[in-house]
Amino acid sequence: MNASKKIHKSDFLVIGSGIAGLSFALKTAQNFKDATITIITKNEKNECNTKYAQGGISTVWDKTVDSFEQHIEDTLLAGDGICDEKIVKMVVEEAPERLQELIDWGTKFDKTTNGNYSLGREGGHSQDRILHHKDITGAEIERALIEKVEKAENITFLTYHYAIDLITEHQVKKQQTKRQEKITCYGAYVLDEKKSIVKTFSAKVTMLATGGNGQVYSTTTNPVIATGDGIAMAYRAKAEISDMEFIQFHPTALFNPGEYPAFLISEAVRGEGAILRDYYGERFMKKYDDREELASRDIVARAIDNELKKSGTPHVYLDCTHLDYKAFKKHFPNITEKCMSLGIDVRKDYIPVSPAQHYICGGVNINKKGKTSLKNLYASGEVTRSGLHGANRLASNSLLEGLVFSNNAYENLKKRFHKIKEPINVPVWNDSGVVKNMEKILITHDRNEVKTIMSNYVGIVRSNERLLRAERRLRVLYEDNKRLYDHSELSTDLCELRNLITTAYLITQFSKNRKENRGGFYSADLV
């Protein structure tokens, strides 16, 4: 692997091109006209969790039937007692303004025949409050944001650029850093995947918007890019991390063995009245929660898991046969088509579904301004722990979180950007010590092993014994990966594996430390 000797300088370095990264870059570009903004992303411009979002974005849009108080209450209830109430209030109250901005940037949300926005419902919401674009809301948001970003003259958008590590005093002053210490972020080392060289990007401000880490599990709705790079990079740079034990499993991923990632059957389908039935056709949600199919996700996913364990069957069913097909197809064309392609006609067939990893509630700690514990490192979106979600995220609050914290970060930088000095003495990437490539297949084996460990031992229902097993096995993988990492030529696969192991280990450790069941965390030993 060659290291480029050039330092790529910009005022703002944005890592990631989902809703969090793009909305931050756009705002910054529009308002700091003389500033230079570089977005790096590890795949195609639009390949990210955002692109696959189906249900939509929650906001109190129609105050004649809904209120901020109700949205706040629903978020707090879903979060199971550990949301930060001030943050929840701030996000909910800012939501309409951010949604209007997204609309002004060109995002099209569905409207009813009378011209008002069509508002959907999902689990845990007491009102219809979800703006959506059919069942492909995320793809529409990415389309609109990318179109806008491409027009901004002060943004450079680099695809297939993979951030390896953040640059801090550790590299700049060659000194060991400790968590809790004042540490500054000066940019990132980035692998140009097409040229196979490591570039050094220095920046006054770095925005971490790298999304989640669903790929640590065997069954996930997250695309293959979701490998927890941002959380792992921030952890190595000694940023504060928390709430990693709160993994959200979506109750209704399409059961289609061999398909990876799992295709989602949006919760909005249950919002329209779809019913869960066990393998033998019986309804079962009443046994678990009065809200039945529209209880919050943690409750529904655990209920399904319990039914599957009791019956030994591989999936349950989602019954849409009683719904108005014309209206269903209009709202969910993508889901209808997907089912049809597998021979499932939703007019007469039940859809086979089972839970799949979907979202991580924890991550890099940020305050309400989007600031991490490292100076000049901001973060937004799924990579963060902002206090909004607590132990379990309310459906369709995630895209919203990205929008709000990216905006808040920008607002904060309006006040302090002029005081931030350009980084000096940033060293280029050190590529010494590489011996030769080890067999690539080892990386594949290890990646599969992480998934198996996490799915077997750190899933919906955990236990002390399971967590211990996971911890031991992950330690071995960590050692093996360290040897590979220290002696092989760098590749995206290898770096991703390193980050998957790190975030899997963090989830396990945080789970071991949790002493009560809450939201997305459940241990059979704590009942």
- Chain positions contacting ligand FAD, by CB under 6 A: 15-21, 40-43, 47-50, 52-57, 137-138, 162-163, 209-211, 221-222, 225, 229-230, 264, 359, 381-383, 396-399, 402
> Which of ligand FAD, ligand SIN, none lies near 382, with the C-beta cut-off 5 to 8 A by kind?
ligand FAD
DSSP assignment of 312-345: T-S-EEEE-TTS-HHHHHHH-HHHHHHHHHTT--
CA 112 to chain centre: 30
Is 335 a binding residue for ligand SIN by CB under 6 A? The answer is no
Q: How far apart are CA 368 and CA 93, in angstroms?
A: 13
> Which of ligand SIN, ligand FAD, none lies near 209, with the C-beta cut-off 5 to 8 A by kind?
ligand FAD
Residue number, 190 or 274, with CB nearest to ligand SIN: 274
Is 398 a binding residue for ligand SIN by CB under 6 A? The answer is yes
CA 309 to chain centre: 28
Residue number, 215 or 488, with CB nearest to ligand FAD: 215
Active site residue 297: yes
Q: Which residues contact 245 (CB under 8 A, 6 or more apart)?
A: 362, 507, 510, 511, 513, 514, 520, 521
- Shortest approach of ligand FAD to residue 455 CB, angstroms? 17
Considering the candidates 98, 121, 129, 297, report the single residue annotated as catalytic: 297
Q: How far apart are CA 218 and CA 341, in angstroms?
A: 24
Question: Which three-class secondary structure string do you get for 427-493?
Answer: CCCCCCCCCCCCCCHHHHHHHHHHHHHHHHHCCCCECHHHHHHHHHHHHHHHHHHHHHHHHCCCCHH
H or E segment and range at residue 5:
strand 2-15
> Which of ligand SIN, ligand FAD, none lies near 229, with the C-beta cut-off 5 to 8 A by kind?
ligand FAD
- Shortest approach of ligand SIN to residue 398 CB, angstroms? 5
Q: How far apart are CA 264 and CA 54, in angstroms?
A: 8
Nearest Cα residue to 14 out of 410, 385, 288: 410
- Shortest approach of ligand FAD to residue 13 CB, angstroms? 10
- Shortest approach of ligand FAD to residue 50 CB, angstroms? 3
How many chain residues touch ligand SIN (CB under 6 A)?
Answer: 9
Residue number, 171 or 336, with CB nearest to ligand SIN: 336
Is 55 a binding residue for ligand SIN by CB under 6 A? The answer is yes
Residue nearest to ligand SIN (CB): 55
How many CA within 13 A on the CB side of residue 76? 15
Among 168, 373, 392, 396, binds ligand SIN (CB under 6 A): 396
Residue number, 214 or 423, with CB nearest to ligand SIN: 214
Nearest Cα residue to 20 out of 147, 141, 188: 141
> Which of ligand SIN, ligand FAD, none lies near 208, with the C-beta cut-off 5 to 8 A by kind?
none
Give me the active site residues, please: 297
| Contact residues: ligand SIN, CB under 6 A | 54-55, 264, 266-268, 395-396, 398
